[in-house]
Structure 1
Amino acid sequence: MSEKHYRKPLSFVRRSNRLKPSYQRAWEASLGQELLDVPHGERDTAVAQGFSIDWRAEFGRTAPLIVEIGSGSGEAIAAAAAANPETDFLAIEVYRPGAAQLAARVRREGLSNVRVACLDAVEVMDKLLPADIVSELWIFFPDPWHKSKHKKRRLIQPPFVDKAARVIAPTGVWRLATDWSDYAVQMREVIGASDRFRNPHSGQRAGEFSPLTQVRLGDLDAASLGKETQPLPLEDALDTEGGWAPRFAARVVTDFEYKALEAGRRIFDLSYVRTPH
């Protein structure tokens, strides 16, 4: 199949574009202000070829830019933006109800340093973010796509790591979090294989102190789903590699994370520093 006709699997599935009336009002009130008004490509989550954004003009200043992918209704990024008015934030949320809620929150809280993009994150990375513009990239709790046949949809894959390396400035930081151990391992392996990033926590939280060891000892992921568990003995469960970051202090505990913790899952934090060119 030629590249022209090949379409890579998307990391999301939109079930409906319809908004309930309150969300529709929020969308219309925010469009072109808090909510970026971007011309679409062949999909409504794609960016039209040739369109670009002058971020300095958009925010009216030159400031560090933090980008969050999968912002949901904005609990984390709104808190960060309020605490860091000297920093600009771009929230990417592909689902329209979440983007509408987030834009309404930004407007309600008077956060002039936040913009919301209701777009495919890969499209934003490729078409709207110049090289080395991002000071930090945040991806907290991306869709884990549990089924084996769907894992190709996971966002954190080698091609995406290359995209992240292009937009994150040298010495910039990439922060990730997930509550699923197999996705955490995939993140660690895929990003760790790139010479464009280094793990400042390499070797830390390994062995019996590793959250991965804890998950394997109790088969906690399966238990959280109500499935039959298959705990491993310590010698097989032991995570000798580690490399897990301490919890990012600026990441507020969202409702989503509370539910994961209540279900008995462990939270895995990872952070990487972009190496110089």
Structure 2
Amino acid sequence: METKERRRLDVVSHVQRSTRMTAGQQRAWAEIWPQIGRRLEEIPAGPVDFSEWFGRTAPVVLEIGSGMGEPTAQLAATAPEVDHLAAEVYQAGHGQLMLWAERGGVSNLRLLLGDAVIFLMDHVPAGSLHGVRIYFPDPWPKKRHHKRRLIQPAFVALIASRLAPGGTLHLATDWAHYADQMLEVCTAEPLLTNQYDTWAPRPDWRPVTKFESRAHREGRPTRDLLFTRH
């Protein structure tokens, strides 16, 4: 990505969180991580070879912000024909995701530790992704913090450029104002087309996350958006 485009991308895909881990998560890092995980700073310069990383050639879906990982492991388990790449900066979250994957016998999952924005800019070839999923990103609810939100025009343009024709961008949030911003930003991206007039019906295949469960308890409706790269 050109320097001027880098300057426009002043968002990050994460906030700093604790790195404390349970004994099980530590074991996962010691035993499982070397086979399926990569740290962003250890990836060689240039485009990543997904076929080499996964050991096969298959459609690749990138999930940005997989959290503690149970829904991610479920999604990978129910779609074995698709390769799932989970990007997260929370080490304990990846530790727990590895435990979920181990428990479910999931083999089509790989993990990235690091900022997904930089990964997309520096290592993901144009037109190489089957899909990008961003579920319940930090809403930054205070108005003065809205500029920190992940879903901004330059970032959506970057995602769109990395999607293959027919690839999908799937967003979900329980914050109404953020949902409106997501809709506005994605609608304005010339490479994307909304699959619905506005909000998408909640897909049955998307597992309920802890954030969604809390939103339901607090009376906040969830909104999904599904856009396709044309």
2:8 and 2:182 map into 1 onto residues whose CA distance is 25
Q: Tell me, yes or no, if structure 1 residue 64 matches structure 2 residue 64.
A: no
1:37 and 1:9 map into 2 onto residues whose CA distance is 19
Mapped contact 1:173–1:271 kept (Cα < 8 A):
yes
Mapped contact 1:133–1:167 kept (Cα < 8 A):
yes
Question: Match of 1:106, as an amino acid?
Answer: A
- 1:147 shift after superposition: 1.5
Tell me which of 216, 226, 229 is aligned to 1:271.
Answer: 226
Cα deviation, 1:142-188, whole Å, max 9, x if unaligned, reads 11011122211111001101111111111111111100000000000
Question: Match of 2:118, as an amino acid?
Answer: E
Mapped contact 2:83–2:108 kept (Cα < 8 A):
yes
1:51 and 1:107 map into 2 onto residues whose CA distance is 30
Cross-structure match for 1:179: 174
Count of matched residue positions in the alignment of Structure 1 and Structure 2:
227
Mapped contact 1:59–1:113 kept (Cα < 8 A):
yes
SS in 2 for 1:126: helix
- 1:63 shift after superposition: 0.7
Cross-structure match for 2:119: 124
Higher strand share: 2
Cross-structure match for 2:139: 144
CA RMSD of aligned residues (A): 2.2
Cross-structure match for 2:89: 94
- 1:246 shift after superposition: 0.6
Higher helix share: 2
Tell me which of 193, 197, 216 is aligned to 1:198.
Answer: 193
Q: Which has the larger radius of gyration?
A: 1
Structure 1 segments unaligned to the other structure (5+ residues): 41-46, 203-242
Question: Match of 1:245, as an amino acid?
Answer: A
- 1:22 shift after superposition: 3.3
Aligned ranges for residues 248-259 of structure 1 at < 5 Å? 248-259=203-214
Q: Tell me, yes or no, if structure 1 residue 73 matches structure 2 residue 68.
A: yes
Sequence identity of aligned pairs in percent?
A: 43
* Greater CA drift, 26-35 or 13-22: 13-22
Question: Match of 1:132, as an amino acid?
Answer: G
TM-score, normalised on structure 1? 0.76
Question: Match of 1:16, as an amino acid?
Answer: S
The structure, 1 or 2, with the larger RCO (C-alpha pairs under 8 Å, 6+ apart) is 2
- 1:122 shift after superposition: 0.2
1:7–1:249 Cα change, 3 Å: closer
- 1:7 shift after superposition: 8.8
- 1:195 shift after superposition: 1.0
Mapped contact 2:129–2:163 kept (Cα < 8 A):
yes
Moved over 4 A (4+): 2-7
Question: Match of 2:27, as an amino acid?
Answer: R
2:123 and 2:36 map into 1 onto residues whose CA distance is 16
Question: Match of 1:253, as an amino acid?
Answer: V
Structure 2 segments unaligned to the other structure (5+ residues): none
Cross-structure match for 1:84: 79
Cross-structure match for 2:29: 27
SS in 2 for 1:39: helix
1:262–1:19 Cα change, 3 Å: same
Aligned ranges for residues 202-241 of structure 1 at < 5 Å? 202=197
- 1:69 shift after superposition: 0.9
